[in-house]
Structure 1
Amino acid sequence: MPELLRKELGEFSSIVCFKAAISGMEEALGEKATAIALTTAGRARGKKLAETLGLVGASISLENAAEKLAVALGAEGTRLCKIEKILSEGDVIKVYTSETLCSAGEPLNSTRKCTFTMGAVWGAIEQILGKRLKGVHSESVLRGGDYDVFEFTLL
């Protein structure tokens, strides 16, 4: 079945509209249910992205994965976030991001977590590694961090 394409507007919409959808979902469903739904949606997006980039089952270093994800999710891609680096520290994979969709327009000290953004990175990393992971948003630019850091460990 052919896809309907937007001839003039293309694939992108504004952060303002996406954040309005998040706020509406939180109002209707509550914060916790919305966070679960957005993280799950993000994971599905990340898995599809990894497939599109040919990263599923590929023998690729985290450094190379970071480069490919940075292009796909950054200024040359969907503009979801900037991937600054991906590091493996023992059993933990840390993804350092900035300019995330989730943090945009938020006041300092906001308690907002990166749900969809973390989910997208999470899904991509799972596909690259071929393993199920547990993810947490461990550091936030909104609360004094230099980056939004997502930490992933094996289940």
Structure 2
Amino acid sequence: MNKSLIVVCPHCHAPNRVPEDRLAAGGACGKCKSSLFAGKPVELDAASFERHIGRSDLPIVVDFWAPWCSPCRMMAPAFVQVAGELEPHYQLAKVNTEDQQELAARFAIRSIPTLAIFRGGREIARQSGAMDAASLKRWIQANA
């Protein structure tokens, strides 16, 4: 029997049940009909953060960043590249700490960029500082 996974839509944030052996085929959201995998990081606010972290069966890699942060801006293209390479087995997301100060405080984000991997609703790994695409991909695969 094939196991199903919950994948949260990057567009409307609705949870969707997807057979594990069909992840690579992508799929569309049952609610908004958009693709479940956008090939780029999902922008999260407090409400969508809760849905993605709390409901998704995929590891979620969150980049806590701010628009004024030079290392954050330098790492952004690598983060987008890795999002496209690691989907559908991982979902990458971004949280703007300027707009989402309560999330930054809740997770004690002291320096940015800070990357955190969540699985099953809890944080399982954290890394501060910018990384290139290859280092980022290795870190995610080793820690998720």
TM-score in terms of structure 2 length: 0.31
